[in-house]
Amino acid sequence: MDKKINSVIQTWLSGQYDPNTQAEIRRLQHENPSALEDAFYKNLEFGTGGLRGIMGVGTNRMNKYTVGAATQGLANYLLQQYPNQKIKVAIAFDSREQSDFFAQVSANILSANAIHCFLFEEIRPTPELSFAVRALRCQAGIVITASHNPPEYNGYKVYWSDGGQLVPPHDHLVIQEVNKITRVEQIKWDANPTLISTMGEDIDREYLARVQSLVQTPVARAQAQNMKIVYTPLHGTGITVIPRALQNMGFEQVCIVKEQALPDGRFPTVKYPNPEDTEALLLSLKLADTLDADLVLATDPDADRVGVAARDKNGNMQLFNGNEIAAMLVAYQLQTLQKKKLLCRETDYVVKTIVTTDLIKEIAHTYGIPCYDVLTGFKYIAEKIETIGEKGHFLCGGEESNGFLTGDFVRDKDAVSTCCMIAELVATLNANKKTLSCFLEDIYQQFHRYKEVQVSLTRQGKSGQEDIANMMRTFRTTPPDVLGDSPVIQIRDFLESDQFDHGQLLPKADVLQFFTQKGDKITVRPSGTEPKIKFYISVTDRSDTPTTALNERIELIKKFFFKD
């Protein structure tokens, strides 16, 4: 084993680390040296998205000490930014193993640094934490979650006073402070209980009232009463507020998937608790067929993403991806606002990420509304809302990975309000004898037909990181001349050259985009939260183009990137 790695391991064995941690290190020394090396070969990086990693002992794992270092670094930064002020931080956690423990550790350390913490008494959705930060006028927020990662993962996300995740300059400056915590003795562990307050129902009521205020078209009581909705929280936090939010709108027949109703960090009924994954929806689709339900809604463990399936014209359940969901919700909201003469072209705007369907941009421009492009990650949508401020009025925004937001009282993707918006849209369509798939087809007929897929390659460990870096380097040095059957006419490298949207400079990022003569867009980027390199393929053509033709183009493009 490398001497540096062994030196760090010896520090953990001889330093002020708890006996259980030291015993586990000794066990791995004897039983699984390679796993021990992977646990210590680097520090679990506090990146621009916070921490995320496998739970266990070691510097490269989520545990009391890595969470402690992150929290102490955050505390130090807050104390620098707000000297001689009362500092407040809101903390939430999801249903994963140890999430409640990591949340309590965070609250203890912050309170030991004379920072007042508002800790949710039980699991709550990530968007409600974003709301709480703003409602309680906190300087920061923390969510313990690894979103839809496998059960062995957990994570630590940090929010700033605007309710959005950290963006420049705060993200890099917090990282600097976290990296200064090199010894366990630097962490203040002894809690001040007088500075830890619990919250729950009081914030729930405020948040749900704001969600209900988003209603575009009040659903007729009879229509809502007759509509059957199957909902699954996939063992996560959505169960705490989403059924209640739907019932507040008049949807009385909300049927919960029993096998997935209880919060359980092992996620025993799914391989991955990801509502984008068809396999994760199998139980809910089965129940929907049993009940002859109109709509299926599924949310990930921290309830910021939503999966959707609804009856098509033949009565079969049709799944919709994140691009389709976002396009339909944008179109519905703009249509409704225009009919009510509430659309203001001088101030209203929508936002999407650069990997999200450009159909949204087409829709917005048709209504005379600007659509801003931001880097991948909902924190950049939140940043855009904050930057524009009172000069504009944010209507909604979305990303391809099943994340959407309406209104600005939350500054992150919000599956709670999105579930309500989708239910409202389906009920409105039902009243007019239309289906969600018909609504999507109407959008294609008015604009262009789009088809998007996202494909990932997973590369674990140190060698995997190197593989991903080499792939990105190869795409830069020897970019494709043709993708599918169309010449590449433009390449955007967000790392090497300045990129602008509406005249505003976008931050540099390890992202490549290839544009073809036929209007296809292919984006390549390493994941910021998983050991993956991601490929986002978007093809488009005239409205009368068969979907099969677009699928064939996608398969041709895939062949370039996946030659093996």
Q: Which residues are catalytic?
A: 147
Q: Taking each helix axis as running N to C, give the angle between helix 415-431 and helix 436-446, from 0 to 180 degrees, rounded to the nearest 10.
A: 90
Q: Which of 358, 522, 381 is nearest to 449 (CA)?
A: 358
Asked if residue 142 lies in contact with residue 106, where contact means CB atoms within 8 angstroms, the answer is yes
Name residues whose C-beta falls within 8 Å of residue 300's C-beta, 6 or more positions apart in sequence. Answer: 147, 148, 234, 236, 273, 274, 275, 415
Asked if residue 531 lies in contact with residue 461, where contact means CB atoms within 8 angstroms, the answer is yes
Question: Alpha helix (H) ranges present in 273-351?
Answer: 282-291, 322-339
Name the DSSP letter for residue 50.
B
Note if the bond before 480 is cis, omega within 30 degrees: no
Stretch (H or E) spanning 373:
strand 371-374
What are the two backbone dihedrals, phi and then psi, of residue 299, each rounded to the nearest 5 degrees? -125, 150
Q: Taking each helix axis as running N to C, give the angle between helix 322-339 and helix 359-366, from 0 to 180 degrees, rounded to the nearest 10.
A: 10
Name residues whose C-beta falls within 8 Å of residue 302's C-beta, 6 or more positions apart in sequence. Answer: 94, 125, 126, 143, 145, 147, 236, 237
| Tokens read off for 13 | 């064995």
Supply angle C-alpha 440, 443, 445, rounded to 5: 115
How many residues are given for the chain? 564
- Rounded-to-integer distance, Cα 50 and Cα 528, Å: 10
Q: Do β-strands 504-505 and 500-501 pair in parallel, antiparallel, or remain unpaired?
A: antiparallel
Asked if residue 39 lies in contact with residue 28, where contact means CB atoms within 8 angstroms, the answer is yes
Asked if residue 363 lies in contact with residue 327, where contact means CB atoms within 8 angstroms, the answer is yes
Determine whether 184 is exposed, middle or buried from the number of CB atoms within 10 Å of its CB (0-12, 13-18, 19+).
middle
Asked if residue 106 lies in contact with residue 141, where contact means CB atoms within 8 angstroms, the answer is no
